[in-house]
A and B are shown apart, each in its own frame.
Chain A
Amino acid sequence: MVQPGNDSDGGTGNPREAECWIAKAWSGKAARYIPARLQSYLIALAAIFSLNFILPRLMPGDPLHAIYGDVALVAMTDEMQSHLIRQLSLDKSWWDQMQAYLLGLMHGDLGFSYYYRDQVSQVILGAMPWTVLLAGLALVIATLIGIILGIESGYNRGSSLDRGLVLSLMFLSGFPDFFVGVLLLLIFAVSLDVLPLSGATSAYAGYQGLSYVADVLRHLALPLAAMVLVQLGDVFLLTRNTVVTLLGESFILTARAKGCPERLIKYAHAGRNSLLPVTTATGMRIPHLITRVLFIEIVFSYPGIGSLLNTAISTRDYPLIQGVLLVVTLTVLSVNFLVDLLYMRLDPRVRYAH
């Protein structure tokens, strides 16, 4: 984010100064900022643990019943039930139960999903790649398009392009994520029938090599487009507003005065400097991205974590819901923490906020 050797940028991006920030960020108040953030993440994690642990045990009646749900118990043999009771220490005190629960978690044991007839951790791991593929690609594409549109729009503020983009993206961001997905699905998969309706691959098609990649991409197109559309507005508006504010800065005037070409001012001066807030905002958007991807996956029956959650809700597969909650929370918290570290390196002012 630092502009090396560019003396016309008003002193905001001096490399030496930046090194200084990093050094400072790791001393002094930072020493209090990071533990404070860690504390709140631990509180959040503890809240999720206790939700997962206490809630089923608070329910009236048999705790095994509550943990596994009505449907699962019918399918279980007596032998399986007594095995589970022993494994979860349900016949012992709460303290023993908690130890058994935490010990299980440490071993990566999130319980057994009776619907998929497999360990919850395995089921979630199997679904993870699709979610990561969809969310990751969407994040990159939406950020790139958003930045470019934002720079163009902010630079030509007040033009018909700018007005059109701002109005349409503001309008679009009003739509709930899943309805944007539903509309795309109805238009391209149901009415026009040009793209597949659901899933991530064609079942039993037996594609190999390039045709497999093409098949995956064809299935990815609609969910990806939906994800990009719902995220575009945020990146775009932020970039545009940053560029508009930057255009009033003196380093832009200097660049103009020394005869810089317009394109260079637009991208190398205004555009590049707008990257800092956009990068940090992108990091902060990741937790939100995860909730969004769940919805979009459900709309398109894309076989990731979201679809798992959907199946788990409709089949009342409680261990699977708990597992998804735990995995999503852990992901969100670790991403948050990484963003905190990155943010603090990028912007020392954060230190003063706490």
Chain B
Amino acid sequence: MHIDPLAEVRQDPLARIGLFILATISLMALFAPLLSSYSPNDYTGKIFSPPDMDHPLGTDSVGQDIWVRLLYGARTSLIVAGAVAIISSTLSLLIGATAALVGGFYERFCMRAIDAVTSLPTIVVMILVAAYLRPSLMLLVLLISALSWPTGARIVRSQVLTLKERAHITAARTFGAGKRHIITTHILPELSPIVSSMMMMDARRAVFMEAGLAFLGVSDPMVISWGKMMHQAMAFTYLDVWQWWLVPTGFALSATLIGISFLSFSLEAAMDPRLRKGNVRL
């Protein structure tokens, strides 16, 4: 590739905003114990207390400090995002690339499986499985990954298919390069921008799904999650407590999603010449 997408992303204001948001949230998650004097499972004794010096966002229906739960909720979202991004993109890369390289029946089988999984209503499937198997964070991560690898696998496959026919790869083959050499030095490095944008996509979907499922009441009972906080807060919209319980949590979740989106928008724009500056984008 003649353009270095990653260098271009670094110059893009959109990507910078995205990175800034994500960095702030990561720092909040990382230094959660330092940013609050409470532990997320402490009962302070006061319920529904409005924000004050002790509790920057007040307390919830059982008297837990909302600010500290918000901080620890960020950990859950980021852990799920990271874990799903890694597992799912590894699966996509493995299955997509082998399908394109092996071909034949195996490829057709993979493509059918990919089509089948992508046409499922993922949220409902996850609700059913989680309802039977008792939701745990681990199970959720595995489930989300199991249902989100196909989109990436399809992209990887089509990319490898075109790469395979490129002149420099044919040239390498004429010089007697082996399969392994071609894959490791020519194909894999060229896939790196695609894989990074795929990971971003997976991470975004994972954050959304984890929060969405928890919002519907499907979540690990031991884990603090933004979705679960919103689920609990939805029962109390008739009190003023939503102002410091429901809304800040929702905005934290949205900010995380927007941060990831901005990064991946800008990455995509850098990779797809049709979307480059001066063409379609602003």
Contacts and interface: CB of A to CB of B under 8 A. Distances in A.
Contacts of B114: 40
A125 interface: no
B7 interface: no
Nearest to B121: A328
B119 A186 contact: no
Contacts of A216: none
Contacts of A245: 274, 280
B155 interface: no
A321 B211 CA distance: 19
B132 interface: yes
Interface stretch (A16-24, A109-117, A167-175): A167-175
A325 B125 contact: yes
B119 A291 contact: no
Contacts of A158: 282
A36 interface: yes
A47 interface: yes
Given A185-B237, A291-B123, A179 B258 contact: no
B192 to A, nearest CB: 25
B132 A179 contact: no
A47 B120 contact: yes
A8 interface: no
Contacts of B177: none
A176 B116 CA distance: 25
A71 interface: no
A294 B127 CA distance: 12
Interface in A41-100: 41, 43-44, 47-48, 51-52, 55-56, 59, 66
B90 interface: no
Contacts of B230: 178-179, 182
Contact of A173 (B111, B125, B238, B261): B261
Q: Name A's interface SS.
A: helix
Q: Name B's interface SS.
A: helix
A290 interface: yes
Interface stretch (B33-41, B68-76, B246-254): B246-254
A186 B121 contact: no
Contacts of A299: 234
Nearest to A40: B115
Interface residues of A, number: 60
A3 interface: no
Max count, chain B CB within 10 A of own CB: residue among A44, A51, A173: A44
B259 to A, nearest CB: 8
A329 B120 contact: yes
A332 interface: yes
Given A176-B253, A179-B250, A179-B253, A44 B282 contact: no
B119 A332 contact: yes
A321 B212 contact: no
Contacts of B112: 36, 39-40, 43
B254 A174 contact: yes
A318 B130 CA distance: 11
Interface stretch (A131-139, A199-207, A259-267, A309-317): A309-317
B257 A329 contact: no
Nearest first, the 9 closest Cβ-Cβ pairs linking A and B are: A174-B258, A40-B115, A43-B116, A44-B116, A179-B250, A40-B116, A175-B254, A325-B124, A174-B261
26 contacts: A40-B113, A40-B119, A43-B113, A47-B120, A48-B120, A170-B261, A174-B262, A175-B254, A176-B208, A178-B230, A182-B234, A185-B237, A186-B247, A190-B238, A241-B280, A245-B274, A287-B119, A294-B124, A295-B212, A298-B215, A314-B217, A318-B132, A325-B125, A329-B121, A329-B124, A332-B119
Interface of B: 111-117, 119-125, 127-129, 131-132, 208, 211-212, 215-218, 230, 234, 237-238, 242, 246-247, 250, 253-254, 257-258, 261-262, 265, 274-275, 279-280, 282
Interface of A: 36-37, 39-41, 43-44, 47-48, 51-52, 55-56, 59, 66, 158, 162-163, 166-167, 170-171, 173-176, 178-179, 182-183, 185-186, 190, 197, 241, 244-245, 287, 290-291, 294-295, 298-299, 309-310, 313-314, 316, 318, 321-322, 324-325, 328-329, 332-333, 336, 354
